[in-house]
Homo-oligomer: A and B are copies of this chain.
Amino acid sequence: MIYNIDHVAIAVHDMDEAIDHHRRLYGAEPMWREDVEEQGVDEAMIPVGGSFVQLLAPLADDTPVGRFLAKHGEGLHHIAYAVPDIDAALDELRSQGARLIDETARTGGRGAKIAFVHPATFAGTLIELVELPDE
C-alpha cells in the first residue's frame, strides 16, 4: 500500500531560525516553502534522498501545530507515507479498524491528496497518507 516515506515532519516555533540552523548543522536547504492556510502551517520541505524533512511552524497558536507545540514543545510530529491511491488506502485502513482523522482525502501542500490517520491507530504515531498529483 505504501511505496515511500514522503516526509518526516518536525514542529518548530520559528521557521526562519529552524531553516538556518538545519542548514548550518546538516548542509541541507529547503526546496520550497509555502503557507498551507487550511492546516494553519508554514511548511518547508528539505529534500533528503528520495524523501523530505518537513519543517512545520504554526500560522497561529490556535492551530493543530500550535497546540502540539504548546503541549509537547518542538519535536517529531508525523510520518507521511506515499500511497498510489489514497481512496483505496483509506478503505483498506477503515476495514482494518483504523481511526481516521480524515474520512476522505483533502488537498494539502504541492496539490497532493492527503489524509491523516489518528495516532490511536498505531503506536501513538500520527501518520499522513499522501497521493502526489501526476506530473
Interface residues of A (CB under 8 A from B): 1-5, 8, 10-12, 18, 21-22, 24-28, 48-51, 53, 55, 72-79, 81-82, 92-93, 96, 98, 119, 121-125
How many copies of this chain does the complex contain?
2
**Choice from B1, B24, B74 contacting A123 with Cβ under 8 Å:** B74
A26 to B3, CA, bound (A): 10
Q: Nearest-CB distance from A27 to chain B (Å)?
A: 5
A49 to B84, CA, bound (A): 13
Q: Nearest-CB distance from A56 to chain B (Å)?
A: 10
**Interface secondary structure of A, over-half rule:** mixed
- With a CB–CB cut-off of 8 A, which chain B residues contact A93? 25
Q: Are B2 and A48 in contact (CB under 8 A)?
A: yes
Q: Are A26 and B1 in contact (CB under 8 A)?
A: yes
A119 to B74, CA, bound (A): 10
Q: Are B1 and A27 in contact (CB under 8 A)?
A: yes
